[in-house]
Amino acid sequence: MEKPLILVTNDDGITAPGIRALVEVASQLGEVVVVAPDSPQSGMGHAITVSSPIRLHPVDVFEGLTAYECSGTPADCVKLARHVVLKDKSPDLCVSGINHGSNASINIIYSGTMSAAMEASLEGIPSIGFSLLDYSHNANFEAGKPFIQKIMAWVLAHGMEQGSLLNVNIPNLPAESIKGLKVCRQADARWVEEFTEAVDPRGQKYYWLTGRFVNDDKGEDTDIWALENDYISIVPSMHDLTNYRAMKGLKGLEGQ
- Identify residues 96-125 at the interface with its own copies (CB under 8 A): 106, 108-110, 115, 118, 122-123
Secondary element (H or E) of residue 70: strand 66-70
Query: Which DSSP symbol is given to 222?
Result: B
Residue 73 Cβ vs its own copies, minimum distance, rounded to whole Å: 8
Which residue, 2 or 115, is less far from its own copies as judged by CB? Answer: 115
Binding residue for its own copies (CB under 8 A) from 36, 82, 93, 131? 82
Of the ranges 9-17, 24-32, 136-144, 231-239, which one interacts with its own copies (CB under 8 A)?
231-239
- 88-105 burial by CB neighbour count: b if 16+ within 10 A, else e? eeebbbbbbbbbbbbbbb
Smaller CB distance to its own copies: residue 64 or 118?
A: 118
- Give the closest residue to 127 by CA, choosing from 102, 100, 159, 149: 159
State phi, psi for 196 to the nearest 5 degrees: -80, 125
Q: Taking CB under 8 A as the rule, does residue 215 contact its own copies?
A: no
15 is an interface residue for its own copies by CB under 8 A:
no
Verify binding: residue 87, its own copies, rule CB under 8 A.
no
**Using the rule CB under 8 A, is 172 a contact of its own copies?**
no
Contact with its own copies (CB under 8 A): which of 44, 94, 116, 148? Answer: 44
CA distance 78 to 7: 8
Contact with its own copies (CB under 8 A) among 22, 36, 80, 224: 80
Ramachandran quadrant class, 141 (left: phi over 0; alpha: psi -120 to 50; beta: rest)? alpha
Is residue 188 close enough to count as binding its own copies by CB under 8 A?
A: yes
CA atoms within 13 A on the CB side of 120: 33
Q: Which is nearer to its own copies, 1 or 157 (CB)?
A: 157
Among 67, 133, 151, 224, binds its own copies (CB under 8 A): 151
Binding-site member from 96, 99, 113, 237 for its own copies (CB under 8 A) = 237
101 contacts 131 by C-beta, under 8 angstroms: yes
Q: How far apart are CA 155 and CA 136, in angstroms?
A: 29
Tell me which DSSP letter residue 221 carries: T
Query: Segment near its own copies (CB under 8 A), from 4-12, 29-37, 58-66, 178-186?
Result: 178-186
